[in-house]
Amino acid sequence: MERPWISQYDSGVPPTVNYPAWTVPDFLRHSSARAADSPALLFYGARISYGELDDLTTRFAVALRRLGVGKGDRVALMLPNIPQAVIAYYGILKAGAVAVPTNPLYVEREIQTQVTDAGAEAMVVLDLFYARVRAVRQTASLPKRIIVTSVRDYLPLFKKLLYPIKARLAKRWVHINTTPPAYDFHKLLRAASLGDESRSADLPSVQPDDLAQLQYTGGTTGIPKGVMLTHRNVVVNTLQGRYWYPDLQEGREIFLGAIPFFHCYGQSTCQNLAIATGCSIVLLPRFHADEVVKAIHRHRVTMLSGVPMMYTMIAEYPDAGRYDLRSLRVCLSGASPLPADVQERFERLTGARIAEGYGLSEAGPATHCNPLHGTHPRGSMGLPFPDTEARIVDTETGLHDVPVGEVGELIVRGPQVMRGYWNREEDTRLVLRDGWLYTGDLVRRDDRGFFFFVDRKKDVIKSRGETVYPREVEEILYRHPNVKEAVVVGLPDHRYGEALHAYVVTKEGREVTEKELIEHCSKDLARYKVPAAITFRRELPRTLIGKVLRRALREEAVAAGHGAQIQRAV
C-alpha cells in the first residue's frame, strides 16, 4: 500500500525492522549481561543495578511459582512507580504468568470487576491500598493471594527509618499482619534467595506468542475490556520506539519514571524502553511538578514521557526557572492532544522539543509519533511507526478509503496490535477485521503522510442535524487568553438532539464570563458549533494518566438537570 510517510522519517529511522524472537524478560537479561553493575532503578537515593534487578525478578518469579502461580495464570499489579512495580512486572513474566496492571485509584467495585474478569490468582498491592483489595477478596474470593509491599522497603536506610514517623504524621501509616492469604513481598524474595542455579529449573519456558499482559481499557463505554498483549506485541512496540530514536545512547540515557507504569504508555515508552537499552530510570511514585523539576535537575534526566497535563504543570511551576532543565533531549506526549501554547511554553523553558504521538491500548500502545528532529505541521499526531500500516476509512461501512484531507476512522495494522479482548469474542470481531484494528478515532492526513486527530468517533456531537467535533470547539476556547483547560460534551436535548456544553478551567488569577466565551466562540465557529452553556470548574475529572473523563462530565450534568438549562439557553 502507499506509505508517503516513510519519506518524512528522521534520518536513520528504518521503515521496517527485523525483530528478535524475544520475550519481554529478555530485555532485562541482555542488559544485565552487558552491564550488570550499571544502575537500572534510582529511587530517592537508593540504587538497584541491572544485575540486582535481574536477580530480584528471578527470585520473585520463583516465589510466585512456589505460591502455586502457574504458567498463564493472571497476577494483578496495583502499585505506583516504585522499584517493586518493575520487579513484580518482570518477575510475573519470568514465571510464565500474565501481568494485569491495575489503577491504584480504583475503588472496590472497579477492583472487583477487573480481578474477577481476569480471574486473578494473585495480586501485588501497596500496603496503603490493601484494605480495598482485602474487602474485594472477602466478597469475590479473588485474588486468591495478596502480596503486600511498602514504599519503605526500597528506601535508603536513613529514609527508611524516618518513613514510619512521616507516615504517622501524614496519617498514612498502616501495619498489616501478613498471614496467608496475605504475604509479605520482601519476605518472599528473601525465601527465594537460593544463590545457585536451581532457581532456573523452577521457571517454565516462555515463548514470544505467549500472553504477557491484560491491559484493561474502558474506552468510551466504561465497560472494562482486557486487551490481550503477547510478549511479541510488547517487544515489538518497545523496539519500534527504540528505532524511532536512532541517536538514543544505550546505557547512557536517564529516563524519568513519572508517567504511571500501570498504563502501557508508561510501560512502553519509559519502563521497557529503558530496560531494553540498559538505561537508568528515576522513579517517582506520584507526579508533583516540584519533584519532577528537581529530579530532572539533580539526575540530569534526558528522556521524559508525559501527558499534556504534566507538561502544563511543569511549564506553570513558578520556581521552574531556578532549575537547569536543559539536560532533556527527548520529550514524548501522548494520551490526549497537546495544546500548542503548552508545547511552546515548555519548549521555551527547557530547550527540548516535545514529540507528540498517538496510540491506544489495543496497539500496545504506540502507532504514530512526530519526528524527533525533522519538521512537522502544527497539530499533527505524527507518522505511523515502522512496520505499521494506517488507513482512513469511511465511518459508515469502514471499507472504503476516504480522500486525502477528509475525515474518517483510523484503522491500523502491525505486529504490535493485540491478539484480541480477553473472553470477549464479539467485541474482538467488531474491532479486528481482516487484520485491521478499527480504532474508533476520527482523523485526517495530509499528502505528506502526517496524521491529525479530529475526535473520538463516539464523542462526536450531533446538534441540529450537523456534526460537531468537540476538539475543534475546544481549540477555539483554548485561544482565549484566560482559558487554561476546556472540554466540550454533548448533552441530550429533545429539540436539537444534542446541545453543546463546555467545561472550562481558567488560568490562575484570571476571570472570564460565560457570555464573553460564547461571544469569543461565535467569532470563529458556525452557530451550531457554539456552546449553549459553559460551566466553570477548578479542575476537570481525569484518569491518572491525564485523560479527561468526558463520560463522567456527561453523567454529572444529566444528574444535575443541566440538560433543561441548556435547552432554554439554546
Bond before 246 cis per omega within 30 degrees: no
C-alpha cell at 318: 513558578
| Rounded Cα distance, 77 and 399, in Å | 39
Interatomic CA distance for residues 243 and 314, integer angstroms: 28
Long-range contact set of residues 36-42: C-beta below 8 Å, sequence gap at least 24: 38/251, 38/278, 38/280, 39/280, 40/86, 40/274, 40/275, 40/280, 40/281, 41/83, 41/86, 41/280, 41/281, 41/283, 42/280, 42/281, 42/282, 42/283, 42/299
**CB distance 80 to 126 below 8 Å:** yes
Range of the domain at 470: 463-569
Q: How many CB atoms lie within 10 A of CB 205?
A: 8
C-beta separation of 70 from 101 below 8 A: no
Q: In this predicted model, what pLDDT tens digit does every residue of 107-159 receive, in sequence order?
A: 888 899 899 999 999 999 999 999 999 999 999 888 999 999 999 899 877 77
Instruction: Please report whether residue 528 resides in a domain.
Output: yes
How does pLDDT run along the chain (570 residues), one tens digit per residue?
689 999 999 999 999 999 999 999 999 999 999 999 999 999 999 999 999 999 999 999 999 999 999 999 999 999 999 999 999 999 999 999 999 999 888 888 889 989 999 999 999 999 999 999 999 999 988 899 999 999 989 987 777 677 666 666 666 767 788 889 999 999 999 998 755 445 566 799 999 999 999 999 854 345 679 999 999 999 999 999 999 999 999 999 999 999 999 989 999 999 999 999 999 999 999 999 999 999 999 999 999 999 888 898 899 899 998 999 999 999 999 877 787 888 889 999 999 999 999 999 999 999 999 999 988 998 899 999 999 999 999 998 999 999 999 999 999 999 999 999 999 999 999 999 999 999 999 999 999 999 999 887 878 887 876 778 788 899 899 999 999 999 999 888 756 778 899 999 999 899 999 999 999 999 888 788 899 999 999 999 887 667 788 878 888 888 777 654 443 333
Q: What is the CATH number of the domain that holds 531?
A: 3.30.300.30
By three-state DSSP, how is residue 342 classified?
helix
Residues 6 or more apart in contact with residue 341 via CB below 8 angstroms: 478
Pick from 307, 296, 250: nearest CA to 274: 250
Quote the CA–CA distance of 269 and 266 in Å, as a whole number. Answer: 6
How many structural domains compose the chain? 1
In a domain, 548, yes or no: yes
Q: Is residue 337 part of a domain?
A: no
Report yes or no on 347 lying in a domain: no
Task: Give yes or no for a contact between 214 and 74, defined as CB atoms under 8 angstroms apart.
Answer: yes
CB 317 within 8 A of CB 286: no
Does 300 map to a domain? Answer: no
- The three grid cell numbers given for residue 414, joined into one nine-digit string: 502491525
CA 221 – CA 554 distance, rounded (Å): 12
Relative to beta strand 182-184, strand 389-393 is unpaired
User: Which has the closest alpha carbon to 88: 119, 118, 123, 120?
Assistant: 123
Say how far residue 313 (Cα) sits from the centre of its chain.
Answer: 18
**Residue entry with cell 493472571:** 74
| 169 domain-assigned | no
| 86-118 per-position pLDDT tens digit | 999 999 999 999 999 998 888 888 899 899 999
Residue 476 lies in a domain: yes
Provide the terminal-to-terminal Cα distance of the chain, rounded to the nearest Å: 47
Residue 509 within any structural domain of the chain: yes
Do 471 and 527 form a contact (C-beta atoms < 8 A)? no
